[in-house]
Structure 1
Amino acid sequence: MSALDAHVVVERAGFRLDADVQAAAGEAVAVMGPSGAGKSTLLGVLAGLVPLDEGHVRLGERELDAAPRPRRRTTPSRRGIVLLGQEPRLFPHLSAHANIAFGLRVHGATKDVAAAEADEWLWRVGLDGMGARRPAELSGGQQQRVALARALATSPAAILLDEPLTSLDTETAGDVRALLHDQLAATRTTAVVATHDAVDAVSLASRLIVLEGGQVTQSGPVREVLASPATRFTAAVAGLNRVAGAVHAGRWERDAMVLPAGDEASAVLSGSEVAAVFRPSAVAIERAEADTWTGVLRLAPTVADGEWLARVTRLEQTPAGVRVRTADPEVAVDVSADRVAELGLAPGVPVRLRVAGSDVRFVTSC
């Protein structure tokens, strides 16, 4: 096992990645961020595929990369780091068994040892009896299992997982995710997992780094980051509403939206920028008593603390019903499909929203 320590700076036209990543020996760290945030570039640097402009990459006692001076660059094959992406990238002309054995042979194992280890890993990833099949004869999930076995069989110092479950269907992804969890724990391999799925972060990692626009916007234990999101992106990943505002005299305010902040929160946060965080399922929704926004504005005097008026912007189907998106401010509300039909909700419809103070947490804005 080896600890990973990296400060990565990469300059591109119109983009700068500047991020720190640390993982203790045997620890799995998740990296999340929107498309274009720099996740794949970060993993490319760690794997030795993308050169550093500034910073360093250290794995255990070895300094793999350093820039700008003195410049050091270790080739990918000599790093002891394996990168596993969305595509398994198996050799199509080799069987599953031979694909796994190939990696072991490259790392110096004898033919007999490589064959025995490949058999063991096929069993560990649930593919015993399928070793003679070529990739074209395996499902996407089975191919990814072979790729994982090939990666871990060589006992790498660290493994990088670049959204390895994205191309799999939900059920298969769940199975492979469970396999990843078990094998990372069993082998105690240091891992960095780039993902867009909170389930991956919760299932596979102990710490979470959020990367947005090339910068780390939040990091910490997975549960703490998802419970107190510092940005709207993180809140969306966590399935929470996050609305920025300010606390004054026991009341949190954002335009016409006012929530009771409580004495304790008010004393600590008064005068500072504060975000209200609450679940979409905690928001009650009713159709406003007017059909036009001009008419709705006349209802403002009837709005109590914890209530606000808004307009529906769109409806999204969820496994449990419908997520109603509203503005301004942007708030999501989870309701059943029959309730949406009952209220006649559609884009542009004015609504009255309400959330109890006990369902709201206040966090300092970033």
Structure 2
Amino acid sequence: MAVTTFHQGIGSIQAHGFCKKFNTRKRIGNLSLGFVSNGVTFEIGVSSRRNCSSRWKLGVIHASTSHTSVVDPVSLPSSNNTGDSKKKSNETALILIRHGESLWNEKNLFTGCVDVPLSKKGVEEAIEAGKRISNIPVDMIYTSALIRAQMTAMLAMTQHRRKKVPIIMHNESEQAKAWSQVFSEETMKQSIPVIAAWQLNERMYGELQGLNKQETADRYGKEQVHEWRRSYDIPPPNGESLEMCAQRAVAYFKEHIEPQLLSGKHVMIAAHGNSLRSIIMYLDKLTSQEVISLELSTGIPMLYIFKEGKFIRRGSPVGPSEAGVYAYTRNLALYRQKLDEMLH
């Protein structure tokens, strides 16, 4: 069985079921001990029965000369009919990704709600973002209604090791729902619903949209343009302030996305600098002064763990081979181990 290893002093964890044969196995009362022949893997279990269908509480240690040992308690659900319902995970992943560079980012133009696609660099950034999250579970994807965010989500998922296919849900009319219906249950299991919402759009820049940022600063003055771009409650001419953007983005997050996390779903959001700043303001409980200095790079995913009603920021996964990020939670580590076993 594949072994999940945490580097950087985290240690190593390996989980096994008791139905697998060991080279050496001893039972003393209701205590069962298993030893793998290499002498470095031990399993200890306690059970009320002798058969493999009963419930086990396992403590697993994988010893190593180069890593610190870690004991991790693992509860395996009972397969017999005890009437206990399987509990949903109380720990889920939330991934936030600002879209890759757009063609108007490349030209240094105010974009706002103008629907502009990714540049070549933006495509590369989206693919790299996908590599960074390729071992993190994704059950649902939310994007803005703008193509650059949707392209980023789709390109990122081409790199995911689970190989599920993202499918945009069309709910704008009954005909759209009917015409986009999938009739294979097995295909649906291998798909991820993608929900596009205008509430996650970039803030609307009003009369600045399509203008060159440097030329606009030359015309109106750097201080005025900086105030429009970075103040919390001052909008550009006929546009939205960050405060106005936050009202719609956070309301949508709380009404539609947070319930999915509460139900045990792992969620990815691909959106924009200001709509994501607004959501991060809510997640991290930032003040209006703190959020205006928050900068988000294009194409860099940010990971949060949602546990016991709280959001814990974990930063950006460094890459698919960086084991440290998966030590944040046991669930992510086990998910990666399952991917390793499934794909090898």
Q: Tell me the TM-score normalised to structure 1 length.
A: 0.23
More strand by share: 1
Q: Tell me the TM-score normalised to structure 2 length.
A: 0.24
